[in-house]
Amino acid sequence: MATAISGHGQVLEPAHDDGAGHGDDHGHEEHHASMGVNTIKLLMWTFIASECLLFGTLIAAFLAYFNHGIGPHPHEVYDIPYTSVSAFVLLLSSLTMVLALAAAQSNDQRQLRIWLVATALLGMVFIGGQFFEFTTFKTHEHVWIDTNQFGSTFFLLTGFHGAHVTLGVVWLLSLWMYSLRRGIPPSKSMFVEVAGLYWHFVDVVWIVIFTVVYLAPTALQH
Amino acid sequence: MATTTQAPPRVIRRPAAAPTGIWSWLTTVDHKRIGYLYGGSSFILFLLGGLDALMIRLQLGKPVNELVNPSTYNGLVTMHATTMIFMALMPMTVAFFNFIVPLQIGARDVAFPRLNAFSFWTFLIGAVVMNSSWLLRAAPNAGWYGYSPLTSKVYSPELNTDFWIVGLQILGVATLAGALNFFVTIINMRAPGMSLMRMPMFCWTTLITTVLMLLAFPVFTIALTQLLFDRHFGTTFFDTTRGADPLLWQHVFWVFGHPEVYILILPAFGVVSEILPVFSRKPLFGYAAMVLATAGIAFLAFGVWAHHMFVTGIGPVGNTFFALSTMLIAVPTGVKIFNWIGTIYGGSVNLRPPALFAIGFVAMFIIGGLSGVMHGSPPVDTQHNDSYFVVAHIHYVLFGGTMLGLFAAIHYWWPKFSGTMLNDKLAYATFWLMMLGFNVTFFPMHFLGVAGMPRRMSVYPTGTGWDFWNIVATGGAFLLAASVWLFIMNAIYSLRRGEPAGNDPWDGATLEWAIASPPPVYNFAKVPTITARDAFWVEKRANEAAEKLGLPVRTPVAVSPDPVIQKVHMPNTSFWPLVAGVGVSMIFSGFLTPFFLGFVPTITVLGIIVLIISVYGWSYEPAG
């Protein structure tokens, strides 16, 4: 039976491939998308939804444990002004990320490189700040990952976030190197946009962590 | 192979490499081949898990048995459950996601073919790592839900629990990658006109299952990470001797664990919702209600976890809340069961083997569902908790439910996989022997539970009154094994000399039956346009009616006789998914070997390097 479904005739849509083809010209085509959202972008959004549960579980463990058992407890070790500055640095990087995407979309390669590197640098400053904070907590406040429940939950959660920032920095620098070698035309700005989605997500998580993990336990003690 | 009918024009070429040989399988990104790989591996793991079960039943065949020692018995119990849940049932449903879902939505492949291959290889390596623990005499032995403090260094000083953590982490990565892929595929890769509410039920249950995976697995990933840190870096998440809350693990585990059981059962619901309409010659009764019921079950799944913890003393408010939410889940589940009955009712029922398995599923799942509602009541649960009654319940929902559903799926879609029919007589024998073996094995466990036999007990004394039903259950287990053996014989027979299936042996309602069996690599020569639910039925019936009335039959091939046939653009094969899978597995496996200088997990560091290389190789690889 020859039917519309099984019919063989002109072959239309290409099968899709997963965001490959940085390397060649015909690799990145606009794909058929039933929902109207680019498939790679949808993948990133879905991934972010899943990541929320990773961070959510860590934050839940922190809330269950931060005042549990032996000390030191959060309010005894936090340096809120210091962490506020590093939180501000990370939030600033969201602005530079937006500027990078805008440059990519308007095909301004110079601006794109500047803002990609700026975003990565701000991320590195944040990571450096976290490294210093961890060292201070360990040497001066005598709280480390194996000290007590607060230490375990705090360092696993913020360390996990720090690993996310580090991954983001590597990703941004990879994009920067790619733009140096071949340039990222507006047709490929999707790759900057997806990296940006990830970066903004990591920033937003930090807002939650800063509020729930840093500010709330401190406020509760006053 | 019965690809004779409707062979595509020869001008359509596949640009990819040679289609045979081991290298082509190692580098494949074709969703159908990955489906075969998932199906074959998960079936072998199903047999391994079954072997564990037979050992358990032999040990429990008589009182004061000395066949296996208690330590090995703990390993058998833990590995039976872990294997069946994470390495047999879930990947077998994923095999069907892979093979069937792209065909049913009219797609050429999944959204991310290489990510799909990555999921498979990661799963396979995870399964191998986990099972290699047997060779080192370090099989996980703290029970499949690894309650603390059994998993702490004090009670599990050797590698057993590390194998469990590492294996499950690797399998979890595979699950998350697969779930991301299938969620995006179903949302974004549907053929024109295939609106969400025109999708086959199996696609709906797949979609909702992936949502459950995406939201439940991260919770488990974190719990396992915390446990890993407790064991290797001295953290105090679950160490009660250092002030940890003894219930934290249970809460986090069951926040994952209860959605997990719906991850296992929802795909089977979808399978049955595909089969019953086809063999009743009627569209699915209450399609919209079915979709809403599936979504409702998934939503409620996240609000019932503490019914696993009624005996831990969470208090009357918690008990009441979780009792009510648990019983509420029976409502959407009941909607489904009545819809299946409504589908059969008044239909012209054709009891071919897939239909029998599907009806068997409904019957057995009702029994498991009913004992599930019983457990929702805290006072009743207090009586049943940790007894064989619970073991009976879980096997009625996971074997009588999921596994019968999967056997229904295997019998239904086998012609599409292989191009040949299974032998009906052997399939009937498989079905009846399986029903007999299953009920003889697991129904007596209800009696044993009520008589007080605790689960996970390796040796029971004489004079308990449990002897009779235990030997009956052991006999049943071997009947069950024989039925699986019959199926394997049938499969081999079918592959060797089965009747050619043709495209559409069951007069199917959905798109996969419109193309050759097994399907060509590009699936649909022309991407179909969908105008209705049960699209293939609607088209066949419309054409039959047109023929009867002497009207022109709709044949778009003739309508568009374009001589310029472009080549089908299929993604190239790639070995990076396999390399990335190895990298991910190394990252976790580093915790199975001694650390360099006491704090550097060498293999983990190497794994990170392998993963980085593969991610760059993957990104820069031409799409072809």
Is the pLDDT score of A6 beyond 70? no
A33 vs B477, residue with greater confidence: B477
DSSP 8-state secondary structure symbol assigned to residue A222: -
Best of B526, B538, B554, B604 to disrupt the A interface by mutation (most A CBs within 10 Å)?
Answer: B526
Name the β-bridge partners of B454: B387
Q: Do B526 and A28 touch (CB under 8 A)?
A: no
Helices (H), B419-466: 424-450
Best of A50, A171, A194 to disrupt the B interface by mutation (most B CBs within 10 Å)?
Answer: A50
Residue-level pLDDT at B568: 62
Least confident of B272-276, B469-473, B619-623: B619-623
Whether this model's pTM surpasses 0.90: yes
Q: Do A43 and B180 touch (CB under 8 A)?
A: yes
Residue-level pLDDT at B70: 94
- Give the H or E element holding residue B172: helix B160-188
Q: What residues in A contact B503, CB-CB < 8 Å?
A: 6
Distances (CA, A) of B433 to B130, B478, B483, B487, B537: 32, 10, 5, 10, 33
Of A11, A22, A37, the CB nearest to B188: A37
The overall average pLDDT reported for chain A is 87
Q: Do B560 and A20 touch (CB under 8 A)?
A: no
Q: What is the dihedral of CA B400, B37, B535, B295, to 10 degrees?
A: 50
- Mean pLDDT of the region B466-475: 97
Phi-psi region of B532 (alpha: psi -120 to 50; beta: other; left: phi over 0): beta
On whether the CB atoms of residues B50 and B484 are closer than 8 A, the answer is: yes
How far away is chain B from the Cα of A216, in angstroms, using its nearest Cα?
A: 21
Report how far residue A42's alpha carbon sits from residue A40's, in angstroms, rounded to the nearest whole number. 5
How far away is chain B from the Cα of A119, in angstroms, using its nearest Cα?
A: 21
How far away is chain B from the Cα of A214, in angstroms, using its nearest Cα?
A: 20
Residue-level pLDDT at B8: 41
B378 vs B521, residue with greater confidence: B378
Which domains are present in chain A?
19-220 (1.20.120.80)
| Angle CA B420–B425–B430, to nearest 5 | 95
| A54: closest chain B residue by CA | B218
Q: What residues in B contact A9, CB-CB < 8 Å?
A: 525-526, 556-557, 560-562, 565
Q: What residues in A contact B189, CB-CB < 8 Å?
A: 16, 32, 34, 39
Q: What is the dihedral of CA A186, A188, A189, A190, to 10 degrees?
A: 140
| B29: closest chain A residue by CA | A17
Is the pLDDT score of B540 beyond 90? no
Distances (CA, A) of B59 to B437, B438, B459: 18, 18, 8
Residue-level pLDDT at A27: 34
- Mean pLDDT of the region B106-116: 93
Is the pLDDT score of B546 beyond 70? yes
Smallest CA-to-CA distance from B517 within B496, B535, B501, B495 is with B501
Is the pLDDT score of B378 beyond 70? yes
Residues 141-170, chain A, touching B (beta carbon < 8 A): 145-146, 148-149, 151-153, 156
Residue-level pLDDT at A30: 39
Whether A30 contacts chain B with CB within 8 A:
no
Establish, for the pair of chains A and B, how many residue pairs have beta carbons separated by less than 8 Å: 230
Q: Do B189 and A34 touch (CB under 8 A)?
A: yes
How far away is chain A from the Cα of B558, in angstroms, using its nearest Cα?
A: 8
Report how far residue B262's alpha carbon sits from residue B402's, in angstroms, rounded to the nearest whole number. 10
How far away is chain A from the Cα of B363, in angstroms, using its nearest Cα?
A: 35
Residues 39-68, chain A, touching B (beta carbon < 8 A): 39, 42-43, 46-47, 49-51, 53-54, 56-58, 60-61, 64-65, 68
Residues 91-120, chain A, touching B (beta carbon < 8 A): none
Residue owning tokens 């080192």: B136
ipTM of the complex: 0.92
Report how far residue B511's alpha carbon sits from residue B523's, in angstroms, rounded to the nearest whole number. 10
Report how far residue B528's alpha carbon sits from residue B191's, in angstroms, rounded to the nearest whole number. 6
Least confident of A22-26, A186-190, B220-224: A22-26
Report how far residue B155's alpha carbon sits from residue B585's, in angstroms, rounded to the nearest whole number. 26
Q: What residues in A contact B221, CB-CB < 8 Å?
A: 54
Q: Three-state SS for B420? A: strand
Q: Which two tokens stand for residue B139?
A: 């099989």
Q: What residues in A contact B248, CB-CB < 8 Å?
A: 61, 64-65
Report how far residue B293's alpha carbon sits from residue B297's, in angstroms, rounded to the nearest whole number. 6
Of B106, B245, B555, the CB nearest to A7: B555
| Angle CA B8–B12–B15, to nearest 5 | 135
Residue-level pLDDT at A220: 84
Confidence of residue B5 (pLDDT cuts 50, 70, 90): very low
Is the pLDDT score of B435 beyond 90? yes
Report how far residue B412's alpha carbon sits from residue B453's, in angstroms, rounded to the nearest whole number. 39
Of A12, A17, A50, the CB nearest to B215: A50
Whether A16 contacts chain B with CB within 8 A:
yes
Residue-level pLDDT at B340: 97
B113 vs B555, residue with greater confidence: B113
- Mean pLDDT of the region A45-73: 94
